[in-house]
Amino acid sequence: MKKVGFVGWRGMVGSILLERIIEKNFFSFVNIVFLSTSKFSNSFLKKKVKNRVLQNAFDLKILYNLDIIINCQGEHYTKKIYYTLRKIGWKGYWLDSSKTLRMQEDTMIALDPINSKELENSISKGIKNFAVGNCTVNLMLMSLGGLFQKNLVEKIFVSTYQSISGGGSKFLKTWFLQMKRFYEVSSKFFEKKYISISQINKAISHEMQKNKKTFKKVVSWNVIPWIGKTKFEFLPEEEWKGEVETKKILNQNVSVYSTCVRINALCCHSQSFIIKLKKDISLNEIENILKNHSKWIRIVPNKKKYTEKFLNPFYVSGSTKIFVGRIAKSKNLGKNYVSVFSVADQLIWGSSEPILRVLKRLIFGVF
């Protein structure tokens, strides 16, 4: 029975992955060792699973005896532990939800079923590092997987509407605190017969000036049009990932032009695509290609009532399905252009599910 170390299982991504591991009954087939980077009570762990004791995530002796390590703790843990482990001769599999190892030559960005054949080949060749791709890249490739599989995509223009949870737990906490203060400051104005937007704005502005610690960066009731560090002079890191990771995952020379924006959705990323295809194909054929690529795709008819009901973050949140709609040919741009809109939970296919599927391959050898 393989020994699997799991660090970061309390976090947003890790907790979703743990739920899926329990749901799939992996405990019957693998010995999961729960690791902690801080002093934490076993009582929290016992609420999730029985007969498990927390181990020190920095103890190299414990880590060295593991066959697989899952890191959902973030890039800091990878930088601190991964390279040290390899230097002392650890030969196990490293599964990582962070960006640290993605672009290394000895690391595969795994997104089964998109690159399932490459995943099988990588394991056969002895590749030991498997990283999860950027969340928006994963969700784009899953949404449009059929078109990529048939090598129909020449270039993509994508605008993203990314959830607050994608910014991490601290970002999410800041968002909630600001939402709370905004409500407390503005709620009294909603008791009046007529709502004065100017009064609400003045009250909020006053609160922001008074409470600069909470409102150092305004994320609630706002959009964040620059995500991540600056990769080049005019390019956010998030948008850089959109092209370089797509090319590495697909091993195709696809041009991806992104504008990435964070909005006030909780868990789901939405994306608007303008796709230039390599040839003109009918709308019906496009829908069938997208729908038949995987069992996780749900095509939403391009009609108002279905779009409003199904194609939104509130409806899709928590689902393993990826909702794809607003599929239309563009008469203005040309016959080879198609527009698509997708919504998916970034904590599932954007992070936890790809790890689960690699783990399944390593445990059961199922391809």
CA distance 134 to 350: 7
State the pLDDT confidence band at 365, using cuts at 50, 70 and 90: confident
Q: Is residue 184 domain-shared with residue 151, that is, in the same domain? A: no
User: Last residue of a domain, which of 183, 215, 247?
Assistant: 215
**279: pLDDT strictly greater than 90:** yes
Q: Is residue 267 domain-shared with residue 281, that is, in the same domain? A: yes
Q: What share of the chain is helix, strand, coil (3-state, %, to 5)?
A: 45, 20, 35
- Phi, psi (degrees; rounded to nearest 5) at 156: -135, 135
Predicted pLDDT at 331? 80
Q: Are the C-beta atoms of 317 and 266 separated by less than 8 Å? A: yes
b/e map of 58-89 (b: 16 or more CB within 10 Å)? eeeeebeebbbbbbbbbeebbeebbeebeeee
Q: Is residue 141 domain-shared with residue 284, that is, in the same domain? A: yes
Q: Which long-range contacts (CB under 8 A, 24 or more apart) does 300-308 make?
A: 300/324, 300/325, 300/326, 301/325, 302/326, 302/327, 302/328
Q: Is residue 145 domain-shared with residue 256, that is, in the same domain? A: yes
**306: pLDDT strictly greater than 70:** yes
Q: Is residue 104 domain-shared with residue 144, that is, in the same domain? A: no
Q: Which two structure tokens, joined as six digits, stand for 34? A: 């729960």
Q: Is residue 276 domain-shared with residue 184, that is, in the same domain? A: no
- The yes-or-no answer on residue 269 being catalytic is yes
Q: Is residue 110 domain-shared with residue 156, that is, in the same domain? A: no
State the pLDDT confidence band at 45, using cuts at 50, 70 and 90: low
Predicted pLDDT at 18? 95
pLDDT tens profile 105-141: 999 999 999 999 999 999 999 999 999 999 999 999 9
CA distances from 68 to 53, 54, 59, 94, 286 (A): 18, 17, 15, 6, 40
pTM: 0.93
Q: Is residue 149 domain-shared with residue 295, that is, in the same domain? A: yes
Counted domains in the chain: 3
Q: Which CATH number goes with the domain that contains 279?
A: 3.30.360.10
Q: Which CATH number goes with the domain that contains 54?
A: 3.40.50.720
Q: Is 365 exposed, middle or buried (0-12, 13-18, 19+ CB in 10 A)?
A: exposed
Which residue of the set 135, 260, 267, 268 is catalytic? 135
Give percent of the chain with pLDDT exceeding 90: 82
**36: pLDDT strictly greater than 90:** yes
Q: Which two structure tokens, joined as six digits, stand for 216? A: 């150092």
State the pLDDT confidence band at 195, using cuts at 50, 70 and 90: confident
Q: Is residue 228 domain-shared with residue 320, that is, in the same domain? A: yes
Amino acid letter, 73:
Q
Average pLDDT over the chain, rounded to whole? 93
pLDDT tens profile 76-88: 999 999 999 999 9
Which residue of the set 72, 267, 268, 269 is catalytic? 269
Q: Is residue 316 domain-shared with residue 269, that is, in the same domain? A: yes
- The yes-or-no answer on residue 76 being catalytic is no
The domain of 176 spans: 169-215
State the pLDDT confidence band at 41, using cuts at 50, 70 and 90: low
Of 117 and 194, more confident = 117
Q: Is residue 64 domain-shared with residue 112, that is, in the same domain? A: yes
Beta strands 153-162 and 268-277: pairing type?
antiparallel
Q: Is residue 122 domain-shared with residue 199, that is, in the same domain? A: no
**342: pLDDT strictly greater than 90:** yes
